[in-house]
Homo-oligomer: A and B are copies of this chain.
Amino acid sequence: MKIGFIGLGVMGSPMAEHLLKRFKELYIFSRTKGKAERLIEQGAIFCENIADLAKRCDVIITIVGLPTDVQDVYLGKNGLINNCNTGTILIDMTTSSPSLAMEIYQKAQIREIHTLDAPVSGGDVGAKSAKLSIMVGGDADIFEKCKPIFETLGTIVVYHGQPGSGQHTKLVNQIVIAGNMIGMVEALVYAKNANLDLERVLQSISKGAAASWQVDNNAPKIIKKDYNPGFFIKHFVKDMQLAQNEARNLALDLPGLDLVESLYASLLENGYGNLGTQALIKYFEDNEI
């Protein structure tokens, strides 16, 4: 099984490294060759372009930035579907649009190419430690074939059904987070203004019905005014907008998601896109005066 890997960003690099270690051979491509150097030193084979990589691999994994990048990489003239061999399996691990995942699946099918959508959660920490949660949509038999790959990258690997359902599940994850963020941040805004000791507040609330990963991990960062990104605001806005688009397609009204997206979008407009999602507190602080 010759594996290819496209997209060597914060997530992709450590994932590619795990695959190289496990499968010994790995074909890689990145628009910025500099990002590939570490992997090349370890024995990965750099391909000059996507078409070249496409021809040399049986399974190709992509994890790029935006749905428009996914569109280019898969559906562009020099993209995967035009250039890979019949029978190739293409796995997109970007968080992207469920509708686009279905479109890619259908266009690939015509050329007898298989696709899976398999976005992840767990962030760069999960990518490095190979403890991602991987949410997979596509054909069940293709999922089974790719399980050894997924199990190299993550600890929670779940098959969700038809093409796009991996993406749908990731968006479900992001909708939960949107609510958890607004609850946690408004609670801290209230606590601060009520002159409470925030450390003690966390002691009181972090084990019961208010418990969440966000309270455990991001509330302490807010207290320390540490806005370094575990997860970028700009990426979270992208994900929430994907969820909003799909909700619109499904004729759903999700006022909580809409509210949280609007607050983060205003932070993005104000130049906070490269901060972590915990910087939502700045929305309240900047409007406080």
Q: Are B196 and A187 in contact (CB under 8 A)?
A: no
Q: Are A196 and B211 in contact (CB under 8 A)?
A: no
- Number of this chain's copies in the assembly equals 2
Q: How large is the interface on A (under 10, 10 to 19, 20 to 34, 35 or more residues)?
A: 35 or more
Quick check: is A145 within 8 A (CB to CB) of the other chain? no
- Nearest B residue to A212 via CB reads B212
Q: Are B287 and A253 in contact (CB under 8 A)?
A: yes
Contact residue among B159, B175, B196 (Cβ-Cβ distance under 8 Å from A183) = B175
Give Cα A196–Cα B213 distance, bound, in whole angstroms: 23
Segment from A24-32, A88-96, A120-128 that makes contact with B: A120-128
Q: Are A256 and B260 in contact (CB under 8 A)?
A: yes
Quick check: is A223 within 8 A (CB to CB) of the other chain? no
Give Cα A287–Cα B251 distance, bound, in whole angstroms: 11
Which residues of A does B touch, CB under 8 Å? 98, 121-123, 126, 133, 135, 156, 158-162, 165, 168-169, 171-184, 186-191, 193-197, 200-201, 203-205, 207-215, 217, 231, 243, 246-247, 250, 252-257, 259-260, 263, 284, 287
